[in-house]
Amino acid sequence: MRKALLLSLGLVAVPALACSGSGFSGNALPAGPDDDASVSTEPTGDGGAGTGDASTLTCKGARADCNKRANDGCEVDTSSNPKHCGACGKTCSGGQVCASGKCSASCPTGLDNCGGACVDVQASAEHCGGCGKACATSANATAVCSAAKCGLECIAGFTPCAAGCCSGPTPPPLQTGPTLSAGGNHTCAVTASAGLKCWGSNGSGKLGDNTLTDRKAAVQVSGLTANVVAVGAGNIHTCALLSTGEARCWGGNGEGQLGTGDNLGSKIPQTVSTLGTGALALAVGRDHSCAIATGGVVKCWGVNDHGQLGDGTTNSSSAPLTVSLPRAAVAIACGSSHSCALLDDASISCWGANDAGQLGDASVDERLTPVVVAGAPAGILTITAGISHTCSRTTSSIHCWGDNASGQLGDATTTSRLAPTEVPGLVGATQVEAGTYHTCAVDGASGVECWGLGSSGQLGDGVAASSSEPVKVSLAGLPISEVAAGSSHTCARVAAGPVRCWGSNSRGQLGNNSLTGSASPVSVFGM
């Protein structure tokens, strides 16, 4: 099967937050039977996007490898190329055009004459959307055009990755961010129409409704009635990612949390500077945020007192700074004072505060630049970060590390861990989400299980008690698609759409039109 990856100007064109967690919401061309090419010798590569100069390509259809370089695929369309009309090296006479692999005097109806080539500009990689608009090429791939949009098809032995086409195992999918996020004492959720609503504490304007009034039920975020693909709630600020690739933030901005290049707070969404429309994913920490930009580059902004921005300093920044990583990132997670990135080889790099071992490098040393998590399991798909702990998920397990004073690592102890430790009994979980001192997961049966601090009822099992191992949330069998863990409250999205919340409710963060906490899930009003 061929692998397809949509590109824009040669770069991955994929749009989509949350601090604690961070599925590929890409615009990939549909994969289908290989009707273009196969490599008849073994490709070479070191796991990255190498040259892969295999000596022989077997092309199918009208595509041909006329330059005999396998690493750029079947680069010629012999159905329309006047220099290779019907076959490599068969040139049409002066004044003739090439149509359907034959030289002729003029182009048939429906095809454009592009320098002697009769082409369908809706499907020609050399003239995609108009004559002369050639699709960008990439190593180990064939440029393609569909509906006047460029894309790449990886040659055999290579798979789509943030850098283009990589050899080796298929990389983890890009995590664009959650559609439900719980902050310190407020909550936000993307609606069925891709708008955004928030509720709870509104100090600093973090609900985004152009007021400072706390809300006990969901209210509309100003200007975000459509195109929202992810949201992240911090302590005093909130951010959202749009389908256009634009990131917007609002709320408190004393340390540059909004990424606007200044320290002016805002009660309505503001565009994050310098990212433009290139944001692919976004994560929000307590007072800092990070984004994955085009090409898998990570950029962070806001508070940097423990090096959580990853730029090698402890200087806060009101504009995004680039984090130096060894590979392209596919997921990002922000805790209170640390950040982590899942890379396209399924390894994890973390940076920032490490007093409880939350960076997972077998030390408690603060790191101003990324370090590799030691002993991480193979096949990691997602990551999430709490105040001082971090977790990862594979198809078969959840591992956590860092602070465990409240049992938030879920290993039936309260012993902190400097390296990943498995949470027993959670085979097949589809999500893991770290809160301040507790952690929750959507299990393989679409239920929710939580562990850690439970004094405010945030574990959702009907009692206000902590647990160092997973307990089932009382959801009466409702199928859950997503969970969000905040400071002292938790929320979950029922697969059919409604949101349920439980835990502390001192500022209305449960959204049930009251200020009374609940150790069992309650319905959010206004969603």
Express each pLDDT in 280-328 by its tens digit.
Answer: 999 999 999 999 999 999 999 999 999 999 999 999 999 999 999 999 9
- Within a 10 A sphere around the Cβ of 40, how many other Cβ atoms? 12
Which DSSP helix (H) or strand (E) runs through 345?
Answer: none
Q: How far is CA 380 from CA 4, 48, 246, 270, 351, in A?
A: 22, 18, 27, 33, 18
Check residue 8 and give its pLDDT. Answer: 29
Q: Which residues contact 103 (CB under 8 A, 6 or more apart)?
A: 82, 85, 92, 93, 96, 97
Q: How many CA atoms lie within 13 A of 37 on its CB side?
A: 36
The CA distance from 179 to 181, in Å, is 7
Q: Give the closest residue to 233 by CA, choosing from 194, 185, 182, 195.
A: 182
Express each pLDDT in 358-390 by its tens digit.
Answer: 999 999 999 999 999 999 999 999 999 999 999
Which DSSP helix (H) or strand (E) runs through 189?
Answer: strand 186-190
For 203-252, give the secondary structure using H, E and C: HHHCCCCCCCCCEEEEEECCCCCCCEEEEEECCCEEEEEECCCCEEEEEC
Q: How far is CA 266 from CA 58, 202, 205, 408, in A?
A: 58, 12, 6, 34
Check residue 118 and give its pLDDT. Answer: 86
Check residue 73 and give its pLDDT. Answer: 81
Check residue 496 and give its pLDDT. Answer: 77
Which two tokens mark 247?
A: 């990131």
Hey, what CATH class is 180-523 in? mainly beta
What phi and psi, each to the nearest 5 degrees, are found at residue 510?
Answer: -85, -15
The CA distance from 274 to 39, in Å, is 41
Mean pLDDT for back-to-back runs of 10 residues, the chain (527 residues): 30 33 29 32 34 57 87 86 92 86 86 87 91 86 88 78 70 92 98 98 98 98 98 98 97 98 98 94 98 96 98 98 96 98 96 99 98 95 98 97 99 98 95 99 96 98 98 95 98 92 99 98 97
Q: What is the CA radius of gyration of the chain?
A: 25
Check residue 53 and give its pLDDT. Answer: 40
What phi and psi, each to the nearest 5 degrees, are found at residue 81?
Answer: -80, 115
Q: Which residues contact 259 (CB under 8 A, 6 or more apart)?
A: 247, 249, 272, 273, 275, 289, 301, 302, 318, 319, 320
Domain range list for the chain:
180-523
Check residue 377 and give its pLDDT. Answer: 94
Exposed, middle or buried, 38 (CB in 10 Å: 0-12/13-18/19+)? middle
Look at the alpha carbons of 100, 104, 106, 108 in this order and tell me if their dihedral is positive or negative: negative
